[in-house]
Amino acid sequence: MNASAKSKKPNTPLSGRVQTPGDKSISHRALILGALAEGTTEITGLLEGDDILRTADAMRAFGAKVKRLGDGRWQVTGRGERGWRTPKTPVDFGNAGTGARLIMGAAAGYNIKVSYTGDASLSSRPMGRVLTPLRDMGAEFDTKTDKLPLAQTKGGKLVAISYTPPHASAQVKSAVLLAGLNTEGTTELHERSLTRDHTENMLKAFGVNIVRKPREQGQIITIDGPVALKATKVKVPGDPSSAAFLIAAALMVPGSDIIVENVMMNDARSGLFEVLNEMGAFLRADNYRRSGGETIADLHVKHSKLRGITVMSDRVPSMVDEYPVLAVIAATARGTTVMRGLGELRVKESDRLTGTQKMLRANGVDATIDGDTLSVTGGHIPGGAKVKTRHDHRMAMSALILGLASEKPVRIDDASMIATSFPRFFDLMAEIGASLDIS
Ligand code: S3P
Protein backbone atom coordinates (compact mmCIF):
# COMPACT_ATOMS: atom_id res chain seq x y z
CA MET A 1 0.00 0.00 0.00
CA ASN A 2 1.42 3.39 -0.99
CA ALA A 3 1.58 6.16 1.60
CA SER A 4 2.75 9.58 0.52
CA ALA A 5 4.80 11.71 2.91
CA LYS A 6 6.06 15.27 3.25
CA SER A 7 8.89 17.04 5.06
CA LYS A 8 9.45 20.70 5.78
CA LYS A 9 11.90 22.96 7.59
CA PRO A 10 11.63 22.43 11.34
CA ASN A 11 11.01 25.59 13.41
CA THR A 12 13.59 24.64 16.00
CA PRO A 13 17.02 22.94 15.87
CA LEU A 14 17.18 19.15 16.08
CA SER A 15 18.43 17.74 19.37
CA GLY A 16 18.56 14.60 21.50
CA ARG A 17 20.06 11.12 21.55
CA VAL A 18 18.84 8.28 19.33
CA GLN A 19 19.64 4.58 19.07
CA THR A 20 20.59 3.40 15.60
CA PRO A 21 18.55 0.40 14.34
CA GLY A 22 20.32 -2.89 13.72
CA ASP A 23 22.52 -3.25 10.66
CA LYS A 24 20.68 -4.68 7.66
CA SER A 25 23.68 -6.50 6.16
CA ILE A 26 24.55 -8.18 9.45
CA SER A 27 20.92 -9.04 10.21
CA HIS A 28 20.54 -10.93 6.91
CA ARG A 29 23.78 -12.79 7.54
CA ALA A 30 22.90 -13.71 11.13
CA LEU A 31 19.68 -15.43 10.00
CA ILE A 32 21.31 -17.17 7.02
CA LEU A 33 24.35 -18.49 8.89
CA GLY A 34 22.12 -19.45 11.81
CA ALA A 35 19.98 -21.51 9.40
CA LEU A 36 23.07 -23.25 7.97
CA ALA A 37 24.59 -24.05 11.37
CA GLU A 38 24.22 -26.98 13.72
CA GLY A 39 22.50 -25.86 16.92
CA THR A 40 20.63 -22.75 18.02
CA THR A 41 21.91 -19.25 17.29
CA GLU A 42 20.76 -16.43 19.55
CA ILE A 43 20.50 -13.01 17.89
CA THR A 44 20.01 -9.68 19.64
CA GLY A 45 19.46 -6.29 18.00
CA LEU A 46 18.15 -7.84 14.78
CA LEU A 47 16.73 -5.25 12.39
CA GLU A 48 13.04 -6.06 12.04
CA GLY A 49 12.68 -4.44 8.63
CA ASP A 50 10.71 -6.04 5.80
CA ASP A 51 13.86 -7.18 3.97
CA ILE A 52 15.00 -9.09 7.02
CA LEU A 53 11.57 -10.58 7.72
CA ARG A 54 11.67 -11.99 4.16
CA THR A 55 15.01 -13.61 4.91
CA ALA A 56 13.58 -15.05 8.15
CA ASP A 57 10.67 -16.53 6.16
CA ALA A 58 13.09 -17.91 3.57
CA MET A 59 15.11 -19.63 6.29
CA ARG A 60 11.92 -21.24 7.59
CA ALA A 61 11.12 -22.40 4.05
CA PHE A 62 14.52 -24.13 3.87
CA GLY A 63 13.71 -25.96 7.09
CA ALA A 64 15.33 -23.88 9.84
CA LYS A 65 13.35 -23.05 12.99
CA VAL A 66 13.19 -19.27 13.33
CA LYS A 67 11.54 -17.72 16.40
CA ARG A 68 11.07 -14.12 17.49
CA LEU A 69 11.51 -13.97 21.26
CA GLY A 70 11.08 -10.23 21.73
CA ASP A 71 12.17 -6.86 20.42
CA GLY A 72 15.15 -7.68 18.15
CA ARG A 73 15.68 -10.99 20.00
CA TRP A 74 15.55 -13.96 17.67
CA GLN A 75 16.51 -17.61 17.79
CA VAL A 76 17.46 -19.71 14.77
CA THR A 77 17.89 -23.48 14.95
CA GLY A 78 19.82 -24.43 11.85
CA ARG A 79 19.75 -27.50 9.65
CA GLY A 80 23.44 -28.36 10.22
CA GLU A 81 24.41 -31.69 8.66
CA ARG A 82 20.87 -32.39 7.42
CA GLY A 83 21.26 -29.52 4.93
CA TRP A 84 18.61 -27.17 3.60
CA ARG A 85 15.45 -28.85 2.34
CA THR A 86 13.35 -28.02 -0.72
CA PRO A 87 10.92 -25.15 0.02
CA LYS A 88 7.26 -26.05 -0.58
CA THR A 89 6.48 -22.73 -2.30
CA PRO A 90 8.58 -20.12 -4.15
CA VAL A 91 10.90 -18.10 -1.91
CA ASP A 92 9.87 -14.43 -2.16
CA PHE A 93 12.70 -11.98 -1.39
CA GLY A 94 10.48 -8.88 -1.59
CA ASN A 95 12.70 -5.84 -2.20
CA ALA A 96 15.91 -7.37 -0.80
CA GLY A 97 18.93 -7.72 -3.07
CA THR A 98 21.14 -8.88 -0.22
CA GLY A 99 18.70 -11.57 0.87
CA ALA A 100 18.30 -12.74 -2.73
CA ARG A 101 21.95 -12.95 -3.66
CA LEU A 102 23.25 -14.46 -0.42
CA ILE A 103 20.49 -17.03 -0.17
CA MET A 104 20.90 -18.09 -3.81
CA GLY A 105 24.58 -18.67 -3.06
CA ALA A 106 23.96 -20.69 0.09
CA ALA A 107 21.16 -22.80 -1.49
CA ALA A 108 23.35 -23.67 -4.50
CA GLY A 109 25.37 -25.88 -2.17
CA TYR A 110 22.39 -28.23 -1.69
CA ASN A 111 20.81 -30.80 -3.95
CA ILE A 112 17.43 -29.06 -4.00
CA LYS A 113 15.16 -27.32 -6.49
CA VAL A 114 14.01 -23.81 -5.54
CA SER A 115 11.92 -21.10 -7.22
CA TYR A 116 12.72 -17.50 -6.38
CA THR A 117 10.64 -14.34 -6.79
CA GLY A 118 10.82 -10.71 -5.71
CA ASP A 119 8.99 -7.40 -6.04
CA ALA A 120 9.01 -5.19 -9.15
CA SER A 121 12.25 -3.44 -8.14
CA LEU A 122 14.15 -6.64 -7.32
CA SER A 123 12.85 -8.32 -10.49
CA SER A 124 14.53 -5.62 -12.57
CA ARG A 125 17.95 -6.07 -10.92
CA PRO A 126 20.78 -8.18 -12.38
CA MET A 127 21.17 -11.63 -10.85
CA GLY A 128 23.64 -12.84 -13.48
CA ARG A 129 26.44 -11.50 -11.30
CA VAL A 130 25.77 -14.32 -8.81
CA LEU A 131 24.44 -16.92 -11.25
CA THR A 132 27.65 -16.80 -13.32
CA PRO A 133 30.02 -17.98 -10.56
CA LEU A 134 27.39 -20.40 -9.21
CA ARG A 135 27.07 -21.91 -12.71
CA ASP A 136 30.87 -22.15 -12.89
CA MET A 137 30.63 -24.22 -9.70
CA GLY A 138 28.07 -26.53 -11.33
CA ALA A 139 24.69 -25.17 -10.21
CA GLU A 140 21.96 -24.80 -12.85
CA PHE A 141 19.18 -22.24 -13.11
CA ASP A 142 16.05 -21.90 -15.17
CA THR A 143 15.96 -18.29 -16.40
CA LYS A 144 16.02 -16.52 -19.74
CA THR A 145 17.01 -13.08 -18.50
CA ASP A 146 19.11 -13.80 -15.38
CA LYS A 147 16.51 -11.80 -13.45
CA LEU A 148 13.82 -12.86 -10.98
CA PRO A 149 11.63 -14.85 -11.10
CA LEU A 150 14.05 -17.75 -11.65
CA ALA A 151 14.62 -21.26 -10.33
CA GLN A 152 17.54 -23.35 -9.17
CA THR A 153 17.13 -26.63 -11.05
CA LYS A 154 20.32 -28.27 -9.84
CA GLY A 155 22.46 -27.64 -6.78
CA GLY A 156 24.88 -29.60 -4.61
CA LYS A 157 28.07 -31.48 -5.51
CA LEU A 158 29.63 -28.22 -6.64
CA VAL A 159 33.24 -27.84 -7.72
CA ALA A 160 35.47 -25.33 -5.98
CA ILE A 161 36.44 -22.36 -8.14
CA SER A 162 38.76 -19.42 -8.04
CA TYR A 163 36.70 -16.34 -8.86
CA THR A 164 37.40 -12.64 -9.37
CA PRO A 165 34.12 -10.68 -9.42
CA PRO A 166 34.06 -8.05 -12.19
CA HIS A 167 32.35 -5.53 -9.84
CA ALA A 168 33.18 -4.58 -6.28
CA SER A 169 30.26 -6.37 -4.60
CA ALA A 170 29.94 -7.81 -1.12
CA GLN A 171 26.82 -9.65 -2.24
CA VAL A 172 28.61 -11.50 -5.04
CA LYS A 173 31.58 -12.24 -2.78
CA SER A 174 29.24 -13.59 -0.11
CA ALA A 175 27.24 -15.74 -2.55
CA VAL A 176 30.41 -17.49 -3.72
CA LEU A 177 31.74 -17.97 -0.18
CA LEU A 178 28.42 -19.36 1.07
CA ALA A 179 28.26 -21.79 -1.87
CA GLY A 180 31.85 -22.75 -1.03
CA LEU A 181 30.84 -23.90 2.45
CA ASN A 182 29.24 -27.02 1.03
CA THR A 183 31.76 -27.63 -1.77
CA GLU A 184 34.63 -30.12 -1.79
CA GLY A 185 38.00 -28.33 -2.11
CA THR A 186 39.23 -24.75 -1.78
CA THR A 187 36.93 -21.98 -2.95
CA GLU A 188 38.97 -18.88 -3.64
CA LEU A 189 37.69 -15.37 -4.13
CA HIS A 190 39.92 -12.55 -5.34
CA GLU A 191 38.44 -9.23 -4.35
CA ARG A 192 40.10 -6.32 -6.15
CA SER A 193 38.57 -3.54 -4.02
CA LEU A 194 37.68 -4.34 -0.45
CA THR A 195 33.96 -4.43 0.26
CA ARG A 196 32.08 -4.95 3.54
CA ASP A 197 33.51 -7.99 5.31
CA HIS A 198 30.56 -9.04 7.47
CA THR A 199 30.27 -12.48 5.85
CA GLU A 200 33.94 -13.22 6.53
CA ASN A 201 33.74 -11.97 10.13
CA MET A 202 30.57 -13.83 10.89
CA LEU A 203 31.72 -17.10 9.29
CA LYS A 204 34.68 -16.94 11.68
CA ALA A 205 32.30 -16.49 14.59
CA PHE A 206 30.43 -19.61 13.41
CA GLY A 207 33.70 -21.55 13.58
CA VAL A 208 34.70 -21.52 9.89
CA ASN A 209 38.39 -21.29 9.08
CA ILE A 210 38.22 -18.56 6.48
CA VAL A 211 41.57 -17.15 5.39
CA ARG A 212 42.13 -13.62 4.08
CA LYS A 213 45.45 -12.74 2.41
CA PRO A 214 46.14 -9.20 1.31
CA ARG A 215 47.24 -8.74 -2.31
CA GLU A 216 48.75 -5.71 -4.00
CA GLN A 217 45.22 -5.09 -5.25
CA GLY A 218 42.66 -6.14 -2.67
CA GLN A 219 42.70 -9.58 -1.07
CA ILE A 220 42.24 -13.31 -1.65
CA ILE A 221 39.74 -15.11 0.56
CA THR A 222 39.72 -18.90 0.81
CA ILE A 223 37.44 -21.49 2.37
CA ASP A 224 38.19 -25.22 2.48
CA GLY A 225 34.93 -27.11 2.11
CA PRO A 226 32.84 -28.79 3.06
CA VAL A 227 32.77 -27.15 6.45
CA ALA A 228 30.23 -27.29 9.29
CA LEU A 229 29.03 -24.13 11.03
CA LYS A 230 28.48 -24.11 14.79
CA ALA A 231 25.68 -22.01 16.23
CA THR A 232 26.76 -18.95 18.18
CA LYS A 233 25.48 -15.67 19.64
CA VAL A 234 25.22 -12.63 17.35
CA LYS A 235 24.79 -9.10 18.63
CA VAL A 236 23.84 -6.86 15.70
CA PRO A 237 25.46 -3.38 15.80
CA GLY A 238 23.71 -0.19 14.62
CA ASP A 239 23.52 0.38 10.86
CA PRO A 240 25.81 3.19 9.63
CA SER A 241 23.71 3.44 6.45
CA SER A 242 20.60 4.25 8.51
CA ALA A 243 22.55 6.53 10.87
CA ALA A 244 23.49 8.51 7.74
CA PHE A 245 19.96 9.97 7.49
CA LEU A 246 19.93 11.16 11.09
CA ILE A 247 23.41 12.63 10.66
CA ALA A 248 22.39 14.38 7.45
CA ALA A 249 19.34 15.91 9.15
CA ALA A 250 21.47 17.35 11.97
CA LEU A 251 24.12 18.69 9.58
CA MET A 252 21.50 20.48 7.49
CA VAL A 253 19.16 22.05 10.08
CA PRO A 254 20.68 25.20 11.66
CA GLY A 255 21.56 24.97 15.34
CA SER A 256 21.15 21.17 15.53
CA ASP A 257 23.15 19.04 17.95
CA ILE A 258 22.41 15.33 18.26
CA ILE A 259 24.01 12.06 19.34
CA VAL A 260 23.47 8.94 17.27
CA GLU A 261 24.28 5.95 19.46
CA ASN A 262 25.56 2.47 18.70
CA VAL A 263 26.85 3.03 15.15
CA MET A 264 29.07 0.33 13.64
CA MET A 265 32.49 1.78 12.73
CA ASN A 266 33.86 -0.65 10.14
CA ASP A 267 36.34 0.78 7.60
CA ALA A 268 34.45 -0.98 4.82
CA ARG A 269 31.29 0.98 5.77
CA SER A 270 32.52 4.34 7.10
CA GLY A 271 33.33 6.15 3.85
CA LEU A 272 30.55 8.70 4.34
CA PHE A 273 31.84 9.75 7.76
CA GLU A 274 35.30 10.42 6.33
CA VAL A 275 33.87 12.39 3.41
CA LEU A 276 31.72 14.50 5.74
CA ASN A 277 34.73 15.28 7.89
CA GLU A 278 36.61 16.39 4.75
CA MET A 279 33.64 18.64 3.91
CA GLY A 280 34.03 20.32 7.29
CA ALA A 281 31.31 18.55 9.29
CA PHE A 282 31.25 18.50 13.06
CA LEU A 283 31.00 14.72 13.33
CA ARG A 284 32.83 13.12 16.27
CA ALA A 285 32.90 9.47 17.22
CA ASP A 286 33.07 8.92 21.00
CA ASN A 287 32.85 6.01 23.36
CA TYR A 288 34.40 3.44 21.02
CA ARG A 289 33.72 -0.13 22.15
CA ARG A 290 33.64 -3.67 20.76
CA SER A 291 30.31 -5.39 20.41
CA GLY A 292 29.39 -8.54 18.51
CA GLY A 293 32.76 -8.66 16.75
CA GLU A 294 32.51 -5.09 15.42
CA THR A 295 33.62 -1.72 16.74
CA ILE A 296 30.78 0.62 17.61
CA ALA A 297 30.73 4.24 18.71
CA ASP A 298 28.35 7.10 19.47
CA LEU A 299 28.40 9.88 16.89
CA HIS A 300 28.04 13.48 17.98
CA VAL A 301 26.81 15.67 15.10
CA LYS A 302 26.23 19.41 14.95
CA HIS A 303 24.87 21.59 12.19
CA SER A 304 27.87 22.56 10.07
CA LYS A 305 28.80 24.88 7.25
CA LEU A 306 30.09 22.43 4.65
CA ARG A 307 32.24 22.87 1.56
CA GLY A 308 31.99 20.87 -1.65
CA ILE A 309 34.79 18.39 -2.38
CA THR A 310 35.64 15.74 -4.95
CA VAL A 311 34.88 12.21 -3.80
CA MET A 312 37.03 9.80 -5.81
CA SER A 313 35.75 6.45 -7.08
CA ASP A 314 37.90 4.41 -4.67
CA ARG A 315 35.49 5.52 -1.94
CA VAL A 316 32.50 3.79 -3.52
CA PRO A 317 32.76 0.36 -1.84
CA SER A 318 32.82 1.89 1.64
CA MET A 319 29.77 4.10 1.09
CA VAL A 320 27.93 2.63 -1.89
CA ASP A 321 24.49 3.09 -0.29
CA GLU A 322 25.17 6.61 0.99
CA TYR A 323 25.45 8.62 -2.25
CA PRO A 324 21.80 9.76 -2.49
CA VAL A 325 21.95 11.25 1.00
CA LEU A 326 25.45 12.65 0.43
CA ALA A 327 24.10 14.39 -2.69
CA VAL A 328 21.31 15.86 -0.54
CA ILE A 329 23.83 17.08 2.04
CA ALA A 330 25.93 18.51 -0.82
CA ALA A 331 22.95 20.67 -1.79
CA THR A 332 23.60 22.69 1.39
CA ALA A 333 27.40 22.90 0.97
CA ARG A 334 29.33 25.85 -0.41
CA GLY A 335 30.60 25.05 -3.92
CA THR A 336 30.34 21.84 -5.92
CA THR A 337 30.62 18.26 -4.67
CA VAL A 338 31.82 15.93 -7.41
CA MET A 339 31.15 12.21 -6.84
CA ARG A 340 32.97 9.86 -9.20
CA GLY A 341 32.59 6.18 -10.12
CA LEU A 342 28.86 5.82 -9.41
CA GLY A 343 27.98 3.24 -12.12
CA GLU A 344 26.84 0.64 -9.55
CA LEU A 345 24.16 3.08 -8.31
CA ARG A 346 22.25 2.36 -11.50
CA VAL A 347 21.51 -1.23 -10.37
CA LYS A 348 20.40 -0.65 -6.78
CA GLU A 349 16.74 -0.79 -5.63
CA SER A 350 16.24 1.85 -8.35
CA ASP A 351 18.60 3.71 -10.69
CA ARG A 352 19.90 5.92 -7.90
CA LEU A 353 22.22 7.93 -10.12
CA THR A 354 19.45 9.26 -12.35
CA GLY A 355 16.95 9.29 -9.47
CA THR A 356 19.18 11.46 -7.28
CA GLN A 357 19.75 13.95 -10.05
CA LYS A 358 16.01 14.12 -10.82
CA MET A 359 15.10 14.53 -7.14
CA LEU A 360 17.53 17.41 -6.73
CA ARG A 361 16.68 19.15 -10.01
CA ALA A 362 12.94 18.92 -9.38
CA ASN A 363 13.59 20.78 -6.12
CA GLY A 364 15.68 23.49 -7.78
CA VAL A 365 19.17 22.15 -6.98
CA ASP A 366 21.89 22.23 -9.64
CA ALA A 367 22.85 18.57 -10.26
CA THR A 368 24.52 17.14 -13.36
CA ILE A 369 25.59 13.68 -14.51
CA ASP A 370 28.56 13.12 -16.75
CA GLY A 371 29.13 9.41 -17.36
CA ASP A 372 29.34 7.88 -13.88
CA THR A 373 30.04 11.22 -12.17
CA LEU A 374 27.40 13.20 -10.28
CA SER A 375 28.07 16.85 -9.44
CA VAL A 376 25.91 18.85 -7.04
CA THR A 377 26.28 22.57 -6.42
CA GLY A 378 25.01 23.75 -3.07
CA GLY A 379 23.09 26.88 -2.16
CA HIS A 380 19.49 27.92 -1.69
CA ILE A 381 17.07 24.94 -2.08
CA PRO A 382 13.65 26.01 -3.39
CA GLY A 383 11.99 22.58 -2.82
CA GLY A 384 8.28 22.18 -3.58
CA ALA A 385 8.43 19.02 -5.75
CA LYS A 386 6.88 15.59 -5.35
CA VAL A 387 9.60 12.95 -5.77
CA LYS A 388 8.97 9.50 -7.27
CA THR A 389 10.69 7.00 -5.04
CA ARG A 390 10.46 3.95 -7.37
CA HIS A 391 10.33 1.25 -4.65
CA ASP A 392 13.56 2.57 -3.15
CA HIS A 393 13.79 3.14 0.61
CA ARG A 394 16.98 5.20 0.46
CA MET A 395 15.61 7.50 -2.23
CA ALA A 396 12.48 8.03 -0.12
CA MET A 397 14.46 8.92 3.02
CA SER A 398 16.93 11.10 1.10
CA ALA A 399 14.09 13.16 -0.41
CA LEU A 400 12.50 13.67 3.02
CA ILE A 401 15.84 14.84 4.43
CA LEU A 402 16.13 17.36 1.56
CA GLY A 403 12.81 18.87 2.65
CA LEU A 404 14.29 19.73 6.07
CA ALA A 405 16.46 22.37 4.39
CA SER A 406 14.30 23.55 1.48
CA GLU A 407 12.15 26.66 1.30
CA LYS A 408 8.97 24.75 0.36
CA PRO A 409 8.15 21.23 1.60
CA VAL A 410 9.33 18.18 -0.33
CA ARG A 411 6.83 15.39 -0.94
CA ILE A 412 7.36 11.75 -1.85
CA ASP A 413 4.83 9.56 -3.64
CA ASP A 414 5.44 6.46 -1.52
CA ALA A 415 6.98 6.07 1.91
CA SER A 416 6.06 2.41 2.39
CA MET A 417 9.44 1.06 1.27
CA ILE A 418 11.22 2.85 4.13
CA ALA A 419 10.12 -0.09 6.29
CA THR A 420 12.44 -2.41 4.35
CA SER A 421 15.51 -1.03 6.14
CA PHE A 422 14.40 1.56 8.71
CA PRO A 423 10.91 0.82 10.09
CA ARG A 424 11.30 3.39 12.89
CA PHE A 425 12.55 6.20 10.62
CA PHE A 426 9.55 8.47 11.26
CA ASP A 427 9.68 7.82 15.04
CA LEU A 428 13.41 8.54 15.33
CA MET A 429 13.13 11.68 13.22
CA ALA A 430 10.32 12.85 15.51
CA GLU A 431 12.47 12.03 18.57
CA ILE A 432 15.11 14.52 17.39
CA GLY A 433 12.45 17.11 16.56
CA ALA A 434 11.82 16.64 12.84
CA SER A 435 8.21 15.68 12.42
CA LEU A 436 7.48 14.37 8.97
CA ASP A 437 3.92 14.04 7.71
CA ILE A 438 2.74 10.71 6.39
CA SER A 439 -0.68 10.32 4.78
C1 S3P B 1 25.29 -5.31 0.72
C2 S3P B 1 26.16 -5.02 -0.31
C3 S3P B 1 25.98 -3.86 -1.21
C4 S3P B 1 24.98 -2.85 -0.66
C5 S3P B 1 23.76 -3.50 -0.10
C6 S3P B 1 24.13 -4.45 1.04
C7 S3P B 1 25.55 -6.50 1.56
O8 S3P B 1 25.51 -4.33 -2.47
O9 S3P B 1 24.61 -1.93 -1.67
O10 S3P B 1 22.85 -2.55 0.40
O11 S3P B 1 24.95 -6.63 2.64
O12 S3P B 1 26.37 -7.34 1.16
P13 S3P B 1 26.53 -4.80 -3.65
O14 S3P B 1 27.15 -6.07 -3.23
O15 S3P B 1 25.63 -4.97 -4.85
O16 S3P B 1 27.48 -3.66 -3.82
Please name the amino acid found at residue 293.
Answer: G
Distance CA 244, CA 50 (A): 19
Q: Is 241 near ligand 1, meaning CB less than 6 Å away?
A: no
- Identity of the amino acid at 325: V
* All structural domains of the chain with their residue ranges: 5-22+237-438, 24-235
Mean pLDDT of 270-298: 96
User: Is residue 366 among the annotated active site residues?
Assistant: no
Q: How confident is the model at residue 293 (pLDDT cuts 50, 70, 90)?
A: confident
| Confidence at residue 79, expressed as pLDDT on a 0 to 100 scale | 98
Q: Is the CB of 25 under 6 A from ligand 1?
A: yes
Q: Which of 23, 92, 321, 392 is catalytic?
A: 321
Beta-bridged to residue 366, according to DSSP, are 377
Helices 24-36/198-205 angle, 10° precision? 40
Residue 9 has pLDDT above 80, yes or no: yes
Instruction: Tally Cβ neighbours within 10 Å of residue 411.
Output: 21
Residue with CA nearest ligand 1 atom 11? 25
Where are the strands (E) in 245-394, listed by range? Answer: 257-264, 282-291, 294-302, 310-311, 336-339, 366-370, 373-377, 386-387
Residue 230 CA, ligand 1 centroid: distance in Å: 25
User: Is residue 51 scored above 90 in pLDDT?
Assistant: yes
pLDDT (tens digit, 9 = 90+) per residue, 119-176? Answer: 999 999 999 999 999 999 999 999 999 999 999 999 999 999 999 999 999 999 999 9
Q: Mean of the pLDDT values across residues 290-310?
A: 95
Residue 277 clears pLDDT 90, i.e. is over it:
yes
Answer whether 5-22+237-438 and 24-235 agree in fold: yes
> Mean pLDDT, to the nearest integer, of 71-89?
98
Mean pLDDT of 110-115: 98
State which CATH number among 3.40.50.620, 3.65.10.10, 1.10.10.10, 3.30.565.10 fits the domain covering 24-235.
3.65.10.10
Annotate 32-54 with DSSP letters as a single string: HHHHHSBSEEEEES---SHHHHH
CB contact set of 362 (below 8 Å; sequence gap of 6+):
385, 386, 387
Q: What is the residue type of 80?
A: G
The pLDDT score that the predictor gives to residue 439 is 81
Residues near 9 by Cβ (< 8 Å), separated by ≥ 6?
A: 253, 403, 404, 405, 406, 407
Work out the angle between the directed axes of helices 128-136 and 170-180 (0-180°, nearest 10). Answer: 30
Residue 115 pLDDT exceeds 90: yes
- Given a cut of 90, whether residue 338 has pLDDT beyond it is yes
Average pLDDT, the chain: 97
pLDDT of residue 1: 60
| pLDDT of res. 2 | 75
**Which of ligand 1's atoms lies nearest the C-alpha of 29?**
11
Percent of the chain with pLDDT strictly greater than 90: 98
* Percent share of the chain, pLDDT over 70: 100
Return d(Cα 227, Cα 389) in angstroms, integer. 42
Mean pLDDT (whole number) for 183-205 = 97
Does domain 5-22+237-438 correspond to CATH entry 3.65.10.10?
Answer: yes
> Do 155 and 112 touch, CB atoms closer than 8 A?
yes
Chain segment 303-336, per-residue pLDDT in tens: 999 999 999 999 999 999 999 999 999 999 999 9
Closest CA to 172 of 97, 73, 110: 97
**At 75, which amino acid appears?**
Q
Collapse the DSSP code of 223 into the 3-class scheme (helix H, G, I; strand E, B; otherwise coil) and give the result: strand
State yes or no: pLDDT of 417 exceeds 90: yes
Task: Provide the pLDDT for residue 292.
Answer: 78
Report, as an integer, the average pLDDT of 181-210: 97
Distance 171 CA to ligand 1 centre (A): 5
Statement: residue 385 has pLDDT above 90 = yes
Question: What spacing in Å lies between the alpha carbon of 406 and ligand 1's midpoint?
Answer: 30
Distance 397 CA to ligand 1 centre (A): 18
Q: Residues 56-75: pLDDT tens digits?
A: 999 999 999 999 999 999 99
Cα-based angle 175, 178, 179 (whole degrees, multiple of 5): 85
Greatest CA separation for the chain: 62
Q: Exposed, middle or buried, 3 (CB in 10 Å: 0-12/13-18/19+)?
A: middle
How far apart are alpha carbons 118 and 347 in whole angstroms?
A: 15
